[in-house]
Amino acid sequence: MSDAAGLDTATLARLVGGELEGDPARCIRGMAAPARAAPDQLAFVVNADALPSGLADSNAGALLIPRDLPATVLPAEAVRIRVAAVYPAYARISQALGAGRRARDPGVAESAVVDPSARVDAGACVGPGAVIAAGATVGAGAVVEAQAHVGREAVIGAQTFLHPGVRILDGVELGERCIVHAGTVIGADGFGFAPEDGTWLKIEQLGAVRVGSDVEIGANCTVDRGAVEDTRIGEGVKIDNLVHVAHNVEIGDHTAIAGCVGIAGSARIGRHCAIGGGAGILGHLSIADHVTIHAMTLVTRSIDHAGHYASGVPHQEARLWNRTLARLRRMGRRARDT
């Protein structure tokens, strides 16, 4: 079935509901691209019409492939697992092979600082140098890695994993089975200032942040607390590295946000949206459910219908871009003169 260092191909096929061709007892310990895979690794082919390089000569011990991929293009020695949809099957196998990556023994490290009023479940793990402040709650099976900080009255749900150096500030609530990667800060003050006679008066940010269950937030992200109402991130949301979520933003369930996105204050993003890398969303806008925003798009007004939206100019040779820019300037001058 499986051993301490891997899983057999029969187990993997059952896990993804696949059709197994070949040795059911072959042990798989990892994954790799076809050209670099070893006999104890699994490689995958997402699309039968776009075969990866090195597939025919691959040394992979097993291949995860579409049901309609001809055997003639595959190495004869590899075990084959045929599935209807490769990418979700790949995700499930990766989870099975990496099941122990975030396993930690329960207990509180000697160098951790836990306030007497905090509630840390006996099954939780608190690493070296971590801080659990007054009134905070750390749920069953949760992990607070080294040097992470859980602020006053904050709540860390069961099985949630905080990587080293994460900062969960006062009053923030995280649901169950969340993953927050190193360097992320959740609950810092939002950017709130009132102008007065050429100066800026700080507006105290009196809200918090509420994060649903099964959320993953990448490294070095910032999620600001609300000014009055809470900033809210829904169930199953996935956020890449280096994303800024400003105060009072609401993100609907199962939305995915790629790296370097900036979302300004009080924006409302629907459910099942996909936001490409480097996109910018202005404040106080609403985005409907099932909207895809392409990379580097600047959203300047609300989007009330599902669909794909894009802006920006794709790259081209500099001499061509300079000509295009010159034409745009001429068009602008003509419009001004009419």
Which token pair is 32?
Answer: 């790799």
The pLDDT of residue 279:
98
User: Containing domain of residue 232, as a range?
Assistant: 107-309
CATH code (residue 86): 3.40.1390.10
CB atoms within 10 A of CB 49: 8
Residues 147 and 263 in one domain: yes
**What is the pTM (predicted TM-score) of this model?**
0.93
Residue 244, pLDDT score = 98
Q: Average of pLDDT values for 161-167?
A: 98
Query: Within this chain, do residues 217 and 302 fall inside the same structural domain, yes or no?
Result: yes
As a whole number, mean pLDDT of residues 211-224 equals 98
pLDDT for 337: 82
Residues 236, 290 share a domain: yes
Give catalytic residues, as residue numbers.
247
Name the percent of the chain in helix, strand, coil, to the closest 5.
15, 30, 55
Q: Do 79 and 113 reside in the same domain of the chain?
A: no
CA angle 67, 72, 77 (to 5 degrees): 90
Percent of the chain with pLDDT over 70: 99
C-alpha 62, offset from chain centre = 28
**In this structure, are 71 and 120 located in the same domain?**
no
Q: How confident is the model at residue 1 (pLDDT cuts 50, 70, 90)?
A: very low
Average pLDDT over residues 326-333: 92
Query: Nearest CA to 149 among 173, 133, 172?
Result: 133
Are 153 and 253 part of one and the same domain? yes
pLDDT at 2: 42
Domain total of the chain: 2
Q: Output the pLDDT for position 202.
A: 97
- What span, in angstroms and rounded, lies between the C-alpha atoms of 203 and 194? 7
pLDDT of residue 3: 45
Classify residue 317: in a domain, yes or no: no
How confident is the model at residue 104, as a pLDDT?
96
pLDDT tens, 260-272?
999 999 999 999 9
Question: Same structural domain for residues 192 and 241?
Answer: yes
Q: Please, which residues bridge with residue 149 across strands? A: 131, 167
Confidence of residue 336 (pLDDT cuts 50, 70, 90): confident
* In a shared domain, residues 298 and 202: yes
Residues 184 and 57 both lie in one domain: no
- Same domain for 150 and 192, yes or no, is yes
Q: Which residue has the higher pLDDT, 338 or 112?
A: 112
Rounded CA-CA distance 328/33 in Å is 45
Mean pLDDT across the chain, nearest whole number? 96
DSSP state of 194: E
pLDDT value, residue 314: 87
Q: What is the pLDDT of residue 335?
A: 85
Give percent of the chain with pLDDT exceeding 90. 93
Res. 84 pLDDT band, cuts 50 70 90: very high
